[in-house]
Amino acid sequence: MMRNMIEKIKICMVKLKSTLATALMIIFPVSAIASDALDPALIFNLKKGHKSSCVPTIQQQLKSIGMDNIKAKAIIYCDCLGILYFNEFTESDYAEMKANNRLPEHTRNNRKQFQEYCADLHLY
């Protein structure tokens, strides 16, 4: 029961962080305009595509180690990664990704830290 409450709290925190981030982007759009920010609809689709491949992979990994509630954990974890990978994506990041068929170098360089952060926050 305590574990379920902790999961619910974690989900609420992710939603709150997402809502706050959206509110800040609406209130302070200058930073997005000043850079070569990517269209939010494209960012949404990048996160959606990432999630569609991430969730089944993480579910299998969690299942193999005997974790409970694997679908919910995998979804939250993959959403966390999607936010870290794509929320600050720029036109140049997208161009690099399309040209090389992989995440931009600066994202790849931080990938392990992103994965550890999301795992610590949502899996353990």
Q: How many CA atoms lie within 13 A of 35 on its CB side?
A: 12
Over residues 78-94, the pLDDT tens digits come to 999 999 999 999 999 99
The residue range of the domain holding 77 is 2-122
Count of domains for the chain: 1
The three-point CA angle 87-30-36 to 5° equals 55
Express as a percent the part of the chain with pLDDT over 70. Answer: 72
Helices 70-86, 105-122: crossing angle, 10 deg rounding: 150
pLDDT at 32: 45
Tell if the pTM clears 0.85, that is, is over it: no
